[in-house]
C-alpha cells in the first residue's frame, strides 16, 4: 500500500499534524506501508509565515507551494490513498482535491480538527482570509472516500456531505513523549498554574484576567505561559513567559501543577479538539477548562479536573487546587489514566489504521 500525505506545513512542525497523524507513521512503517509527505509550505516559508514583515518572501513561498502542488499531480496515480489534512492549498477553490477525486479517481481521506468551514479572521491572517474559499470544506467532504474528524461536532458537520465519517480524536504518545516518568519536576515555593498555546489562542486568556489577579492577591501562585508569542497580561505579577520550543515542550509543560483551558462559547471553539487538556492530563496535571465542545468529554468534573462556567467557579476551583496538593495528585493520576485509555496513540491506533481500508 502507498499513501500520499498532503499537508499544509512541513513535517514535524505543526501540532495539528504531529498529534493527528505524524505520530502514527512508525506504525505504518512497521506494516511496510509506503508513505510520502508533501507539504504546501517549505520550511523557509513556515519559519517566517506568522512573523510581521517579509511580505515578498511569504508571497513567493505561497506561489511556490501552488507550483509544487500542480507538479505533484501526475504522480498521484501511483498511490492507493491520498490523506489530505485540512486542505491541499490554503487559498482559493479546491482544484487539487477535485482533480485527485474526479479525474484521477483516487481515494481521499480528508482530515480536519477545527471548524475550518467557518471564517476565523485574526490580525495575523486578515489578508489571506479574504482569499480563502471556505465553501471548499463541504465539497472536499463530498468527494472523499472517508472523512476523519477530531470530535463529534466536526463529524456532525461532515456527515451532511459524506456517510463515511470517522471520529479520529487528536491523541498523545503517552509512552515516549507525554510520559511524566521521563521528566523531573522541581520543588517550588509556589504552585504553578499553566497555559500553553499559539498566538491565535492567546486572546482566550483575557477572559481570566480578573480571576488571575484575584488569585494572586489571595493565595499566590506562579502563572506559566508557554507560547510562540508573549501574552499581554502585564498586570499579572506572577507571570512567567516561556517561549515554545519543540525540544523542551514536554519538560516545560511538566513544570505546571494545574493546567487551564479557557474558551469562548462560539462555533469555532465548539470545533476545537481539547489538545491543551489532553496534554495536561497525560502528564498527570489536573485540567481546569471551559464547558465548550470536547472539553466536557475529556475533563470529568471533580475527578480529573474541573469544568468552569463563571468567573466565580474559575476562582473557587483554582483556589481549591492551589491549596490542595493531595487533590491535585489524585486528579492528575485519574487524568493520565483516562488519556491512556481513550486519547492515546495506543488506544487509537486501530481506529487510525482503519481509515485506510
pLDDT digits (tens, 9 = 90+) for 161-179: 999 999 999 999 999 999 9
pLDDT confidence of residue 177 = 94
How sure is the predictor about 233, in pLDDT bands with cuts at 50, 70 and 90?
confident
Between the alpha carbon of residue 201 and those of residues 41, 198, 217, the distances in Å are: 22, 6, 26
Tell me the mean pLDDT in the region 44-60. 87
Q: What's the rounded mean pLDDT across residues 119-129?
A: 57
Residues 328-357 have pLDDT tens digits of 999 999 999 999 999 999 999 999 999 999
Instruction: List Cα–Cα distances, 117 to 135, 139, 159, 174, in angstroms.
Output: 6, 11, 14, 31
Tens of pLDDT along 184-211?
A: 888 888 999 999 998 889 999 999 999 9
8 Å CB contact between 261 and 289 = yes
200 burial level (CB within 10 Å; 0-12, 13-18, 19+): middle
Please tell me the least confidently modeled range out of 42-46, 93-97, 283-287.
Answer: 42-46
For residues 16 and 276, give the distance between their C-alpha atoms in angstroms, rounded to a whole number.
12
pLDDT exceeds 80 at position 130: no
Q: What is the mean pLDDT of residues 104-132?
A: 79
**Location of C-alpha cell 517566517:** 48
* pLDDT band at residue 292 under the 50/70/90 scheme: very high
Task: Please report which confidence band the pLDDT of residue 126 belongs to, taking 50, 70 and 90 as the band edges.
Answer: low
Q: Phi/psi at 149 (nearest 5 deg)? A: -120, 145
343 contacts 171 by C-beta, under 8 angstroms? yes
Mean pLDDT, residues 241-261 = 96
Sheet containing strand 239-243, strands side by side = 239-243, 222-227, 192-196, 258-261, 287-289, 305-307
How buried is 53 (Cβ within 10 angstroms: 0-12 exposed, 13-18 middle, 19+ buried)?
A: exposed
Whether residue 127 has pLDDT greater than 80 = no
Buried b (16+ CB within 10 A) or exposed e, 220-243: ebbbbbbbebebebeebebbeebe
Residue 184: CA count within 13 A, CB half-sphere: 2
Residue 63 has pLDDT above 60, yes or no: yes
Lookup: cell for 153: 461536532
pLDDT for residue 188:
86
Longest Cα separation, the chain: 65
> For residue 232, what pLDDT band results from cuts at 50, 70 and 90?
confident
- 197's CB contacts (< 8 A; 6+ apart) are 204, 226, 227, 276
Whether pTM > 0.85 for this model: the answer is yes
Mean pLDDT for the chain overall: 94
Contact 28, 3 (CB under 8 A): yes
- Phi first, then psi: what are they for 113, rounded to 5°? -130, 15
Given a contact cutoff of 8 angstroms between Cβ atoms, the answer to whether 154 and 113 are in contact is yes
- Which tens digits make up the pLDDT trace of 293-325? 999 999 999 999 999 999 999 999 999 999 999
- DSSP class of 232: S
Mean pLDDT of 29-45: 96
* Phi (first) and psi of residue 225, to 5 degrees: -115, 120
Q: Kindly tell me if the per-residue pLDDT of 128 is higher than 80.
A: no
Q: What's the DSSP call for residue 90?
A: S
- 219 pLDDT band, cuts 50/70/90, is very high
Residue pLDDT, tens place only, 147-156:
999 999 999 9
| Cα 354 to Cα 357: distance, rounded to the nearest angstrom | 6
Q: Residue 132 pLDDT > 80, yes or no? A: no
Q: What is the pLDDT of residue 152?
A: 96
Amino acid at each position: 500500500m502507498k499513501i500520499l500525505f498532503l499537508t499544509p506545513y512541513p513535517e514535524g512542525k505543526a501540532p495539528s499534524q504531529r498529534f493527528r497523524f505524524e505520530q502514527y507513521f512508525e506504525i505504518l512503517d512497521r506494516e511496510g506501508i509506503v508513505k510520502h509527505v508533501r507539504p504546501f509550505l517549505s520550511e523557509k516559508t513556515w519559519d517566517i509565515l506568522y512573523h510581521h514583515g517579509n511580505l515578498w518572501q511569504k508571497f513567493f513561498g505561497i506561489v511556490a507551494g501552488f507550483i509544487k502542488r500542480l507538479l505533484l499531480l501526475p504522480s498521484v496515480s501511483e498511490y492507493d490513498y491520498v490523506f489530505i489534512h485540512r486542505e491541499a492549498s490554503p487559498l482559493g477553490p479546491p482544484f487539487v482535491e477535485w482533480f485527485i477525486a474526479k479525474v484521477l479517481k483516487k481515494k481521499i481521506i480528508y482530515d480536519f480538527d477545527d471548524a475550518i468551514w467557518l471564517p476565523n479572521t485574526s490580525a495575523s491572517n486578515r489578508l489571506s482570509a479574504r482569499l480563502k474559499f471556505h465553501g471548499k470544506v463541504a465539497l472536499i467532504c463530498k468527494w472523499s472516500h472517508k472523512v476523519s474528524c477530531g470530535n463529534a461536532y466536526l463529524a456532525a458537520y461532515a456527515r451532511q456531505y459524506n456517510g463515511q465519517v470517522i471520529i479520529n480524536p487528536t491523541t498523545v504518545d503517552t509512552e515516549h513523549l507525554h510520559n511524566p516518568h521521563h521528566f523531573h519536576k522541581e520543588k517550588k515555593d509556589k504552585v504553578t498554574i499553566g497555559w500553553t498555546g499559539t498566538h491565535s489562542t492567546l486572546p482566550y486568556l483575557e477572559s481570566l484576567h480578573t480571576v488571575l489577579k484575584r488569585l494572586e492577591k489571595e493565595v499566590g501562585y506562579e502563572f506559566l505561559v508557554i507560547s510562540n508569542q508573549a501574552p499581554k497580561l502585564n498586570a499579572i505579577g506572577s507571570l512567567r513567559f516561556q517561549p515554545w520550543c519543540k525540544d523542551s515542550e514536554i519538560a516545560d509543560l511538566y513544570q505546571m501543577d494545574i493546567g487551564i483551558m479557557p474558551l469562548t462559547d462560539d462555533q469555532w471553539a465548539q470545533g476545537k479538539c481539547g489538545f491543551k487538556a489532553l496534554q495536561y492530563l497525560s502528564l498527570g496535571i489536573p485540567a481546569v477548562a471551559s464547558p465548550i465542545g470536547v472539553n466536557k468529554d475529556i475533563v470529568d468534573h471533580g475527578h480529573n479536573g474541573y469544568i468552569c462556567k463563571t468567573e466565580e467557579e474559575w476562582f473557587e476551583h483554582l483556589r481549591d487546587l492551589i491549596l490542595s496538593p493531595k487533590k491535585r495528585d489524585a486528579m492528575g493520576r485519574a487524568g493520565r489514566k483516562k488519556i491512556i485509555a481513550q486519547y492515546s496513540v495506543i488506544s487509537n491506533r486501530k481506529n487510525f489504521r482503519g481509515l485506510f481500508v
